[in-house]
Structure 1
Amino acid sequence: MKKVSKMTLIQTMRTQFKALDPDRSLDVAAKEMALSGQWLLPVCIGSRLVGSLSLQDLVSFCFGDEGSDADEERARDRTVADVMKRDPLSCGMETSLEDVRSLIFSRRQPAVCVTSSEGDLVGMIDAFEVVDSLSVPQAFSGPEPDEVHQIRGDT
């Protein structure tokens, strides 16, 4: 019998994280990524999610396909908008953790951006957080918050 977690995405997602402006230079974005410890940074205009920039995107762009040395000048001259994925991996707040896990592994992304129904970024969750949440014993997960029931329409 498959064990289903009682933890919810809303309980598990991070609401404090670094986000990038699409006009930011790639070299500054790389430094911010390193300082934040995040392997994927959402790209936003205001609170609207417009893209994502992963460590893999940065490495692929800076080192190129030939495996040559990093081109620092190239990174300074380009912006996040030049390299970001314009279709970021995202899900709604009502998405189950099992579905988030499937998204992460099927799309091979380090994290998922969590958005409101209007497309505003409200949180993030990475692969490690999903795995940890799904393996937490049910006795420690506690009751579901009222917000979860409201979002699902259970009330």
Structure 2
Amino acid sequence: MGAAPRQGMAFSGGVGYRMRWAPALVREIVALHRGGRVEIRWATTWVDDIGQVERLLKLPGFPTAFTTLGADPSVKAPERKAAAAIEIVEVERRPLIWTDDDAIPTHGPLIERLSIQLPTLFIRPDARRGLQPEDCAAISEFLG
């Protein structure tokens, strides 16, 4: 049985956001990273304040896919997230695992473009629940 969910506050643009996480899930993400099976990169509206999230969840410092979203990060983030995914698949020529609660389209040209050449996995967690154990199981299965 895992530990009870934890919660804390992180701040962006002078606004506080309550965050909640399961320590076991965080440990699993860190284990994937430290095991060398994946490279985790932040591509998030939190990118300019990501240090707070990492400290709160006790995560190592993962690299960011982009920086400086500015005063209204939700406007610029979707385009930057898509560009980061394209960079991984088309320039770096690496398989992609993309987890995002709002930026991954369910179909269309971006999905086709990212999926045509290399293996890809898209995980769209519910924004209220976040990444779940079954999502990590899907990632492990994808990795083989």
Q: TM-score range by the shorter chain?
A: under 0.3
What TM-score, normalized to structure 1? 0.26
Q: Which has the larger radius of gyration?
A: 1
| Structure having greater relative contact order (Cα 8 Å, sep ≥ 6) | 1
What TM-score, normalized to structure 2? 0.27
